[in-house]
Structure 1
Amino acid sequence: MKKDISIRELTADDKAEVMAMMREFYDSPAVIHKSSDSILEKDFDDCISDMPFLRGFMLEFNGEAAGYAMTALGYTTEYGGICVWLEDLYIKPEYRRFGIGSELLKFIEKEFPQAVRFKLEIEEENEAAFSCYFNKGYRLSHYGLMTKETV
């Protein structure tokens, strides 16, 4: 099988496809909080707006929508520079294990050359994803993560 992986910025034309993938992702065990459709729609809309902190990407395999990703920018005082959070990475089940995740990680590093740190959250039970990230240089952090939501 031909292995043609492409990654591009999200556009308004991608909304229905990405919203369906987001719903599947946010209803899966990979996510603790089950976000509402209105929040997911806001996320998508922010990705294609002039919002400077959030960017969205369509992942394609042989010309077909295979997944999506969203990144959020922040600053790390610990390392003195831009931190890129890989907020969402979803690949449809039928497109997993074709190297799309690995290609995305390489793409993100090239897309954000000014970044001094890249972060993501993972369910450690997801051995395939864990292995992919580990092989690309990601390591488990020893910091605990605390959050407070206001919505």
Structure 2
Amino acid sequence: MPDFTLRDATPADTDAVLALVHDLAVYERAPNAVDMTAPMLHAALFGDKPLAHAIVAEDEELLGFALYFTSFSTWTGKAGIYLEDLFVKPEARGRGIGKALLQSLAAEAIRRDCARLEWQVLDWNEPAIAFYKSLGAEPLDEWTRYRVKGEALKALAKQETKHG
């Protein structure tokens, strides 16, 4: 019997989830990378048009979270779930929390008739890679992720060709 519970995040969890996001950034060697504020997270999860959802694990406090959003595949014609962040406090690891969060997301994907559940992991994070492989996840080694942000994003937007 697990010694923690899972539930959907509520507005009251905003500050604690944001603290876990900061802990994740430290773990991922990017301690100053988080620009998100509590009001931004609250709006993203609980605003008029939520952009994402979160599941939290708790006992007397939040122990971990999974933040996800809906994706879409033109190849399958179905939605998917994209796991943006999964984090369990170091002192709470080994209790099955990460697996329970992923199982919950997999069940949600099945309920929604999604084609897939996917995420990415840093290539140096061997413990996470081994954990994900143990659950049947397969790496997509042939795909390379690209990102445009900041000034490059603004410059690209200036190149917009009007349509319509």
TM-score, L = length of structure 1:
0.84
Greater mean deviation of Cα atoms: 71-80 or 46-55 = 46-55
1:45 CA displacement: 2.9
1:65 is aligned to 2:62: yes
Alignment of 1:19-98 (within 5 A): 19-29=18-28, 34-38=33-37, 41-60=39-58, 62-98=59-95
1:134 CA displacement: 1.0
Q: Which position in structure 1 is the counterpart of 2:128?
A: 129
Contact 1:76 1:82 in 2 (8 A): yes
Structure-2 separation of matches of 1:107 and 1:98? 15
**Count of paired positions:** 148
RMSD: 2.3
Aligned-pair identity in percent equals: 23
* Structure with the bigger percentage of strand: 1
1:115 CA displacement: 1.1
Greater Rg over alpha carbons, structure: 2
Contact 2:51 2:69 in 1 (8 A): yes
Contact 2:14 2:41 in 1 (8 A): no
Q: Which position in structure 2 is the counterpart of 1:103?
A: 100
Q: Which of structures 1 and 2 has the larger relative contact order (alpha carbons within 8 angstroms, sep 6+)?
A: 1
* Structure with the bigger percentage of helix: 2
Q: Output the amino acid matched with 1:96.
A: R
Specify the SS of the correspondent of 1:88: strand
1:94 CA displacement: 0.3
User: Structure 2: which 5+ runs fail to align?
Assistant: 155-164
